[in-house]
Amino acid sequence: MALINLAAGEINYKIVYYGCALGGKTTSIQYVYKKVTSDAKGQLVSIATEEERTLYFDFLPLSLGKVRGLNTRFHLYTVPGQPQYNASRKLVIQGVDGIVFVVDSQVTRLDQNVEAYLNMWENLEEQGDSPAELGLVLQYNKRDLSDIYKIKDMNELFNQTDSPYFQSCALTGEGVFEALRSISKQVIAKTDS
Amino acid sequence: MGKNQTINTSQIDAATGILEKMRNSINPEFIGIISSGGLPVTVLSSSTKINPEVLASLAASSFAATSQLARVTNNATYAVMFHEGEDNNIHISQIGGDYLLVIIFANPSEIGKVRIISKRAREALAAALVQAENPILLKNRDAVVEETNIQGDERTRTGD
């Protein structure tokens, strides 16, 4: 649900990076923070454990230009990927406009990816959202590693919504901005749908 | 995706007017309305150290967690949160279902006054912020970002 503040001349969108633990959600948002110019970004906030595992969320506000004369503010969040933090995930996705689902491409992480995908679907439906109607982008991460699934196979599993998808390596940033740009365009286009 | 939440200038003016009256009574460091989703709506602040955007995100998340805590403890809701600190104190209260009122003030002995004044103001704020009957929406569904800071070229569907 975009918040349109006409007095401030702003549209605010909430984008959530969802996916299994250690899949690259926080790394993606950190890369964005590192690369965006300082006048376009706010403070990066992380609520994490001492081991730097996301406990509640990471948060990064961005200004990404104008739409029809209104400034766009994108509020990027990540969810904690570990299964036991589902209550936190439900809170973070409240009011979400678009999701970047980050898939860990490694063969050994298939079960965790499937669990995270089903969990996202269930949590969105529980709050009355449909993944098919929300903005959704798939970011197939860790493409630089060797023991990984083919894109075609992962699309069969995770792209039930025929959404745009991107290969990425969050550590080097490859594909991260492409996914962000795609989700941004989707949520803007859906503002008045 | 739920209905967009649109706030027009007259709503903001009305809400800000109420906040200004409150500020005159309790002299807070910060007083503001944020959306329950964590976005600042209108803010009056005398502090340059408080980032409204970060504050809104954390306050809304904290309040949402408290609401879930209410469910776990079989309570209908906790409509008010208060954190007492060494340098200042935070009072957060619910305005209807969509907004929160956040007040940061220095003197902890002022809490009684803050509670009374915020309780009185919440109804007026809720009325001021009630969803516009004819929300102004973007008309062009093919809207694109006209100027962007996003780097990199968009790569369309890539396969292997």
Model ipTM over 0.95: no
B-chain residues near A178 (CB < 8 A): 152-155
> What pLDDT, on a 0 to 100 scale, did the predictor assign at position B143?
41
User: Are the C-beta atoms of residues A74 and A11 closer than 8 Å to each other?
Assistant: no
- The percent of residues above 90 in pLDDT, for chain B, comes to 58
- Helix and strand tally (H, E) in chain B? 3, 6
Q: How close does chain A come to B58, measured CA to CA in Å?
A: 9
Q: How far apart are CA B75 and CA A39, in angstroms?
A: 44
Q: How many A×B Cβ pairs under 8 Å?
A: 172
* A168 contact B CB<8A: no
pLDDT in tens, A25-84: 999 999 999 999 999 999 999 998 878 888 889 999 999 889 888 999 999 999 999 998
> What pLDDT, on a 0 to 100 scale, did the predictor assign at position A190?
86
Closest residue, chain A, to B11 (C-alpha): A7
Average pLDDT over residues B12-19: 95
- Which residues numbered 96-115 in B keep a CB inside 8 Å of some CB on A? none
How many Cβ atoms sit within 10 Å of the Cβ of residue A170? 26
Q: Reply yes or no on whether the pLDDT at B42 is more than 50.
A: yes
Provide the whole-model pTM: 0.86
Q: Answer yes or no: do A181 and B152 touch at CB < 8 A.
A: yes
Q: Reply yes or no on whether the pLDDT at B147 is more than 50.
A: no
pLDDT in tens, A89-126: 999 999 999 999 999 999 999 999 999 999 999 999 99
Closest residue, chain B, to A95 (C-alpha): B37
Query: Residue A192 — very low, low, confident or very high, per pLDDT cuts 50/70/90?
Result: low
Q: Answer yes or no: do B7 and A7 touch at CB < 8 A.
A: yes
Cα B34-B42-B2 angle, rounded to 5 deg: 45
